[in-house]
Amino acid sequence: MTLEHKYVEGGDPVLLLLHGTGGGPDDLLGVARELSPSSAVLAPAGPVSEYGAARWFRRLAEGVFDHEDVVKRANQLADFVLEARETYELGDRRLVAVGFSNGANIAAAVALQRPDAIREAVSEVAGVPNLPTDSGAEHRLAWGNWGGGFGFGLPWGNFGYGGPWNNWNNWRNGWHNWHNGWGNW
């Protein structure tokens, strides 16, 4: 397959774990088990190295994305997801990207550009890239920051989910609210 990765068989939804800068495929396994203990897990490694730290795409400076590379790497990850669906016989099973930091950024980029690969993403500490979207596609993006609020980006607009998500329990509880309620429409 095109990206180094870890795959663990399980139920639905399939969780696509996307680590932050300097991380790897194992970084979010504990989070996955907290969010959805029986889910299958697909955890690739970011293909870009920044001073030896794995990332999903290049940046020009701290907080400044290399937009050309974002587009290239979003397509690379989307192709990997489609390849993994075939390799692991995932078919049309529900897949939700769970990203942290740089992983959250690439999850948003793929969901916005390639909804054939990712339509749903739950992202923590994300900066959503300003990229063209497939305006005809339905996507569901949820993002939050450890000290801030939690929000949902939906095709018809944005709204917040009340309360600060300033600790792990709040983030986990919000996932369960989204996954068990809003995430099932």
Q: 9: buried, middle or exposed (CB in 10 Å: 19+, 13-18, 0-12)?
A: exposed
Q: How confident is the model at residue 112 (pLDDT cuts 50, 70, 90)?
A: confident
pLDDT of 184 higher than 80: no
Q: Is the pLDDT of residue 115 over 70?
A: yes
Q: How far apart are CA 54 and CA 63, in angstroms?
A: 16
Per-chain mean pLDDT for the chain = 77
Q: Are 126 and 104 in contact (CB under 8 A)?
A: yes
Per-residue pLDDT band for 108 (boundaries 50, 70, 90) equals confident
**What single DSSP character describes residue 167?**
S
Give the pLDDT confidence score for residue 1 in this predicted structure.
81
| Confidence tier at 125 by pLDDT (50, 70, 90) | low
pLDDT for residue 56: 96
Phi-psi region of 55 (alpha: psi -120 to 50; beta: other; left: phi over 0): beta
Residue identified by tokens 């600060």 is 164
pLDDT, residue 62, reads: 82
Instruction: Compute the distance between CA of residue 126 and CA of residue 107 in angstroms, rounded to an integer.
Output: 9
- pLDDT tens digit sequence for 12-34: 999 999 999 999 999 999 889 98
Residue 62 in tokens = 């701290």
pTM: 0.75
| CATH architecture under which domain 5-184 falls | 3-Layer(aba) Sandwich (3.40)
pLDDT at 180: 52
Phi, psi of 44 (to 5 degrees): -80, 165
pLDDT at 8: 97
Mean pLDDT of 78-96: 97
pLDDT score for 55 = 96
User: Domain limits of the chain?
Assistant: 5-184
pLDDT in tens, 34-46: 888 999 999 999 9
